[in-house]
Amino acid sequence: MEIIVGKYAGFCAGVTNAVVKTEEALKENSKIYCLGELIHNNQVMQKLQEHGLIVIDDLKEIKEKKKIIVRAHGIPKQVYKQADENGLELIDLTCPKVLNIHRKVEEYVNNGYYIFLVGEKKHPEIVGTYSFCSECGSIIEKMEYIDESIEIFKNSKYKKVVVISQTTFSSEKFDKIADEIRKKIPQNIEVITDKTICNATDLRQKETSRISKEVDLMIIIGGKNSSNTKKLYEISKENCKNVLLIETKKELDKDYIKKFNKIGIMAGASTPKWIIEEVSKCI
Ligand code: SF4
């Protein structure tokens, strides 16, 4: 049996930084709050929580003045303000690539552009980025949202548009949405496309597509709540008849796996190396 493990499987630079800095901070502080799950991986989260990480959804849940971690996805502008007003100390681990999008969005708005933010409405990164649009934008998650967003734009004071993306959005879907916007928007409107999909995501998705075309079984490892992991699963499904999405080796059925000659393994950005190695060894 041949096993191919993707070169880009697992932690990206932003997640590595968030996990390493959190572990360091937990060595110096017995308790630290984190706004939302640090990463979408139950096994890593469990370990961090055992060492004193407390996950909260809102600053109002804070009971004692401890440091607060801002995860790689970033937070909305108003949360920075709220923390400042309450004298709370943040350890800001927002990925530099996400911070770059916040900065770009603010610049576009200041230069008179209306923002079409392509991404998942409820994803924390999009919630954070949208706050930097100062309400001069629409979130487009699917093709079906384009017409409505164009209507909102037409009724606004804006005369130019920028189409920008969530860092972990599907590259292919982004291109389709951007093309459709160009087709539907009036000819006299300037449209800029700024494809801010993170390079790590792009490489991982391309590698997943390539490997899933070559194998008879594709195994995607990652949190079931991880959006980038789910995308790897969807990409693999398009190319391979047999695709499994698992969090750990415990979910593997060895008798089922024995049937295949060539198996591909990919993992989302929140999957640690040790879980990928455990799965590979188990096959
Ligand atoms: S996927 Fe890209 S943008 Fe997101 S945390 Fe990782 S490196 Fe940063």
The pair of three-digit structure tokens given for residue 195, joined into one six-digit string: 């494809």
Contact 194, 103 (CB under 8 A): no
pLDDT at 63 over 90: no
Q: Band the pLDDT of 168: cuts 50, 70, 90.
A: confident
CA–CA distance, 114 with 110 (Å, rounded to integer): 10
The catalytically annotated residue of 23, 120, 125, 141 is 125
Q: Band the pLDDT of 171: cuts 50, 70, 90.
A: confident
Locate the ligand 1 atom nearest the alpha carbon of residue 198 and give its number.
Answer: 2
What pLDDT score does 142 carry?
95
Q: Band the pLDDT of 65: cuts 50, 70, 90.
A: confident
Site to substitute for ligand 1 among 17, 166, 201, most atoms within 8 A of C-beta: 201
Residue of the CA atom closest to atom 8 of ligand 1 = 14
User: Which residue ranges make up each domain of the chain?
Assistant: 2-9+201-282, 13-95, 97-197
What pLDDT score does 116 carry?
98
Q: Higher confidence at residue 61 or residue 227?
A: 61
Burial grade of 281 (CB within 10 A; 0-12, 13-18, 19 or more):
exposed
Identical topology for domains 2-9+201-282 and 97-197: yes
Segment 172-181 mean pLDDT: 96
Note if 89 is an active site residue: no
Distance 57 CA to ligand 1 centre (A): 21
Residues with CB under 6 A from ligand 1: 12-15, 72, 95, 97-98, 167-168, 198, 200-201, 269
Q: What angle do CA 44, 47, 50 make, to 5 degrees?
A: 150
CATH 3.40.50.2000 for domain 97-197, yes or no, is no
What is the distance of C-alpha 159 from the center of its chain?
A: 30
CA–CA distance, 166 with 169 (Å, rounded to integer): 5
Site to substitute for ligand 1 among 73, 93, 98, most atoms within 8 A of C-beta: 98
pLDDT at 226 over 90: no
Distance 243 CA to ligand 1 centre (A): 25
SS3 157: coil
Order across the sheet with 68-70: list the strands: 53-56, 32-35, 68-70, 90-92
2-9+201-282: which CATH architecture?
A: 3-Layer(aba) Sandwich (3.40)
Output the pTM of the full model. 0.88
Locate the ligand 1 atom nearest the alpha carbon of residue 201 and give its number.
Answer: 1
CATH 3.40.50.11270 for domain 13-95, yes or no, is yes
Query: Identity (one letter) of the amino acid at 104?
Result: K
Locate the ligand 1 atom nearest the alpha carbon of residue 95 and give its number.
Answer: 8
Q: Band the pLDDT of 227: cuts 50, 70, 90.
A: confident
